[in-house]
Structure 1
Amino acid sequence: MKHLAPLVAAALVLSACGSSDPAADPTAAPLAPTDTAVVDATQAPEPTAASPAAAATPTPTSAPIPALPTPQVITGGEGPTGDLAYVSGDWATDWSTRTIDLDELRIGIQVIPIRDRIPPIDDPEFAPASEAGWSDPEPGLLLVVGDTARFYPLAMLIVHEIVNDEVDGRPVLVTYCPLCNSALVFDPVVNGQRLRFGTSGLLRNSDLVMWDDATESLWQQIGGEGLVGAFAGHRLEVIPSAIVSWGDFKAGYPDGVVLAPPGRPASSYGRNPYVQYTSRSAPIPGFFDSTILDDRYPALERTVGVTVEGHDKAYPFSVVQANGAVNDTVAGVPVVVLWSPGTADALDSPVTAGGADVGAALAFDRRVDGEPFEFSPLGNGRFADNRTGSTWNVLGQAVEGELAGTSLVPVVHTNEFWFAWSAFHPNGEVFGP
């Protein structure tokens, strides 16, 4: 197999953003020479034989494993060296306060300045769902705050990765890392101060590292942990969200709204710069330490990562799909993980809506009026509860029967790739058959 240089993913994202050519940007300067060759921005990840799900037998955990302790803040020591020092030379980041070793950070963008080279959306606008023209399989991030439901197409998040938003007066930070397929929403208010976040151009464990423009601290996207700077050791509050199809969003939230293109035509979105990425058997070399790869499941299998009361538990898509509905208990809370077909893989086909049907998997507290229900699949993305026989959809909405109009409360969960979930939750529990 031909090995890719570790710069390819960043180059591909920059190509999608239309800003990867330093000649087109007079403020850009090339990086200092490195030992790693720069790959042409048009080169896509080379496909490899994907490991069949059956090749990795899931290992159920018999007892809960405690969540990771609060990160320990390290003070003092040397600042960045080498290329990291070169790309961050004008940053005001306090490198002496951190929770990680600085050599864990990887440079993901090879044109400086690297910060916000992948441009966040700071003043998002939205259109009624009834007026948008996305195709039904198009995947996107679903966010429901109060009575407002919003859909952020992955076709747009691939290009921008961060949306600094506000819903009914509540600040929200919407994020997506294509390399990990991790979509998370946070409360960006820290110590009473609303922070504006951007893309730092750095990666850790192949995952997006963000920065705030108040203290220039660095933050991990998965987990929302402050890594370096004044906010090292802080954690952003996670707001429940999920990846669903446009078709499911429209049906479940007909009065919802969708992120509108920010000053560029809608036709400029929808092209996937990561063609055949999810056909690979491992993350892109150079962005991820292969020695920590957990081989219980294929590296790029999607995984529902549930977090309840500080306890983390993974539900690989292959297991959830095989069951249709998984009734479980996490940290004493009864939860259900529902799987439904109809959501495209945004990271394999040249077109985000044209990928294979990987489905959607969402996690909820399965209590209704304080009573735990059990759910069973009816097929075609519908489920029945064991108490009233009402019919529910994958969004946790009762659509027929005695409980029609009732909605389950989502628990915090993600859909990142297995390699990413296991790297950031090495002591997490894994659901198995």
Structure 2
Amino acid sequence: MRWTAWSLTVIVLVALSLWSLGACVNPGEPGTTSPAASSGAGTAPEAADSGAVDNAPAPGEVAKAPQGIALLPPESPPARLNSSYWRTDFSRRTVPWEEIISGGPPKDGIPAIDEPTFESPESAREWLSDRDPVILFEHDGHARAYPLAILIWHEIVNDTVGDLPVAVTFCPLCNASIVFERTFDGQVLDFGTTGLLRNSDLIMYDRQTETWWQQFIGQGIVGRYAGEQLTFRASQVISFGDFTARYPNGEVLARPAMPRTYGANPYTQYDSTAGQPFLFRGELDTRLPATERVVGIQLGDVVMAYPFSTVAELGVINDRLGDVPVVVFHKPGTASALDTRQISEGKDVGSVGVFDRRVDGQELTFVRNADGTFSDQETGSTWNILGEAVAGPLAGQRLERILAFDHFWFAWYAFFPQTALYQGS
């Protein structure tokens, strides 16, 4: 009965939230509807016309996407996916239709942010607390923070940092914060939300070809670019306080002028799910609770998940994945965006950082300090959660950040069932 009551509560809260998002969207308002959608459903995109792909297999062969992934036989999408609203090439797909379900809102019902504006950390302090979680992305001397208090309502920010077009994304149902390059196949793509899910994860689409992309793995699953792979960019979820301390002149995504209760969490207590997560139909691996946070890493053929609870207990994990010596840091002080109604009051889940623990060919071994910093045993240098040496013989050095993302365990296992799970040594 406890699970049933909780399910009803979450369903009502999320449904109301999603309904309000869709209800607030004005199809004629810039930034809320894809430019492609306004040209009329059923019209083939110009990009597809100019670059049609003839990938018909020979008898007995299986059609392959560019990455070598098998394309499924052409089959019309089911009526529930409202294919008449799309210009997607539905003859090309890599996943079964039954794995794709509606999340509630329609296409662009959760509006991506297409023209982001930024404010100073000092200005952002008027509405963000030190505990608020933000996605840190750095490029070419630019450091930007994207508060989950905003992304929880928009899920995608189409941005350009320095000279690099990127998509900063967040799927609340999987707790997946991921950054991609938007330059692909010689063009800059703009991403929007489909309103569809697979393994409870956001399915994005690009407005140029209306290919559907799986956010969790950055892969095209339906459309012209089915089987293609977006380029990941390393990022890190940290507290706003840690961002402002390190980047007092950095930039913080400003709240859009839309009727949203920024700072509020529409998925109250979602990360305390005691059973099947919302809209997830896959298999659960019971080694961890479904919504236990893990930091997931794929290095070549090695796939590993480190539970936040274990990293928090140890403070530091010195490990080796294949030939790469890695370190996983944990620092308390970052609130969960998916706990209490007010994000800033959420339980402390902390933040993690994953790095190659070699500096100039020397392999380092780390321990945590009581003040939230870390020290290497070889030189006694002091390091922060961002992998920067802030004191000691190596001051000024930076560890190489390893591509790693924070996720819920159920989602990581759904997309990487071959994963190993770190259980301590």
| Bin of the TM-score, shorter chain as denominator length | 0.7 to 0.9
Q: Summarize deviations over 1:344-375 as a string: whole Å, max 9, x none.
A: 01111010111011111111111111222111
Q: What is the deviation of 1:309?
A: 3.2
Which residue type is aligned with residue 386 of structure 1? Q
Cα distance in 1, alignment partners of residues 24 and 141 from structure 2: 43
Q: Residues 71 and 312 (structure 1 numbering): CA distance in 2 closer, same or farther, change over 3 Å?
A: farther
Q: What is the deviation of 1:109?
A: 1.6
Are 2:367 and 1:363 equivalent residues in the alignment?
A: no
Moved more, 154-163 or 389-398: 389-398
In structure 1, the residue matched to 2:50 is none
Are 2:23 and 1:20 equivalent residues in the alignment?
A: yes
Q: Residues 325 and 90 (structure 1 numbering): CA distance in 2 closer, same or farther, change over 3 Å?
A: same
Q: Residues 324 and 260 (structure 1 numbering): CA distance in 2 closer, same or farther, change over 3 Å?
A: same
Trace 1:172-211 onto structure 2 (pairs within 5 A).
Answer: 172-211=166-205
Are 2:328 and 1:337 equivalent residues in the alignment?
A: yes
Q: What is the deviation of 1:253?
A: 1.9
In structure 1, the residue matched to 2:277 is 284
Q: Is the 8 A contact 2:358 2:364 kept in 1?
A: yes
Q: What is the deviation of 1:115?
A: 1.0
Cα distance in 2, alignment partners of residues 246 and 323 from structure 1: 23
Which residue type is aligned with residue 164 of structure 2? R
Are 2:337 and 1:346 equivalent residues in the alignment?
A: yes
In structure 1, the residue matched to 2:137 is 143
Which residue type is aligned with residue 74 of structure 2? G
Are 2:383 and 1:388 equivalent residues in the alignment?
A: no
Find the partner of 1:309 among 300, 311, 328: 300
Q: What is the deviation of 1:397?
A: 1.6
In structure 1, the residue matched to 2:69 is 72
Q: Residues 329 and 379 (structure 1 numbering): CA distance in 2 closer, same or farther, change over 3 Å?
A: same
Are 2:92 and 1:106 equivalent residues in the alignment?
A: no
Q: What is the deviation of 1:26?
A: 11
Q: What is the deviation of 1:25?
A: 7.9
Are 2:238 and 1:236 equivalent residues in the alignment?
A: no
Moved more, 318-327 or 256-265: 256-265
Moved more, 396-405 or 191-200: 396-405
Structure-1-length-normalised TM-score:
0.83
Q: What is the deviation of 1:284?
A: 3.2
Trace 1:412-427 onto structure 2 (pairs within 5 A).
Answer: 412-427=403-418
Q: What is the deviation of 1:13?
A: 3.9
Q: Residues 195 and 310 (structure 1 numbering): CA distance in 2 closer, same or farther, change over 3 Å?
A: farther
Q: What is the deviation of 1:215?
A: 1.1
Trace 1:250-329 onto structure 2 (pairs within 5 A).
Answer: 250-264=244-258, 268-285=261-278, 287-290=279-282, 292-309=283-300, 311-329=302-320
In structure 1, the residue matched to 2:121 is 129
Q: Residues 264 and 90 (structure 1 numbering): CA distance in 2 closer, same or farther, change over 3 Å?
A: closer
Find the partner of 1:11 among 11, 15, 31: 15
Cα distance in 2, alignment partners of residues 21 and 398 from structure 1: 46
Cα distance in 2, alignment partners of residues 304 and 75 from structure 1: 31
Q: What is the deviation of 1:82?
A: 3.2
Q: Residues 145 and 106 (structure 1 numbering): CA distance in 2 closer, same or farther, change over 3 Å?
A: same
RMSD across aligned positions (CA) = 2.3
Q: What is the deviation of 1:268?
A: 3.2
Q: Is the 8 A contact 2:174 2:411 kept in 1?
A: yes
Q: What is the deviation of 1:321?
A: 1.1
Q: What is the deviation of 1:307?
A: 2.4
Q: Residues 408 and 353 (structure 1 numbering): CA distance in 2 closer, same or farther, change over 3 Å?
A: same
Q: Is the 8 A contact 1:13 1:159 kept in 2?
A: no
Cα distance in 2, alignment partners of residues 16 and 378 from structure 1: 45
- Consecutive unaligned residues in structure 1, runs of 5 or more: 28-69
Q: What is the deviation of 1:318?
A: 1.3
Q: Is the 8 A contact 2:19 2:104 kept in 1?
A: no
Cα distance in 1, alignment partners of residues 196 and 320 from structure 2: 36
Moved more, 213-222 or 255-264: 255-264
Q: Residues 236 and 13 (structure 1 numbering): CA distance in 2 closer, same or farther, change over 3 Å?
A: farther
Cα distance in 1, alignment partners of residues 28 and 361 from structure 2: 61
Q: Is the 8 A contact 2:156 2:167 kept in 1?
A: yes
Q: What is the deviation of 1:245?
A: 0.5
Q: Is the 8 A contact 1:106 1:202 kept in 2?
A: yes
Cα distance in 2, alignment partners of residues 309 and 147 from structure 1: 29
Cα distance in 2, alignment partners of residues 406 and 311 from structure 1: 27
Matched position secondary structure for 1:363: strand
Q: Summarize deviations over 1:76-128 as a string: whole Å, max 9, x none.
A: 332111312xx232211111211100110010125xxx111100001111112
Q: Summarize deviations over 1:8-42 as a string: whole Å, max 9, x none.
A: 5752442563x4379x9899xxxxxxxxxxxxxxx
4+ residue stretches of structure 1 with deviation over 4 A? 5-10, 24-27
Q: What is the deviation of 1:278?
A: 1.2
Are 2:153 and 1:159 equivalent residues in the alignment?
A: yes
Cα distance in 2, alignment partners of residues 13 and 363 from structure 1: 34
Q: Summarize deviations over 1:173-218 as a string: whole Å, max 9, x none.
A: 1000000110000011221111111000000000000001111111
Counting matched residue pairs gives: 382
Q: What is the deviation of 1:226?
A: 0.5
Greater relative contact order structure (CA < 8 Å, 6+ sep): 1
Q: Is the 8 A contact 2:107 2:194 kept in 1?
A: yes
Q: Percent identity?
A: 46
Matched position secondary structure for 1:419: helix
Q: Is the 8 A contact 1:218 1:228 kept in 2?
A: yes
Which residue type is aligned with residue 125 of structure 1? T
Matched position secondary structure for 1:415: strand
In structure 2, the residue matched to 1:168 is 162
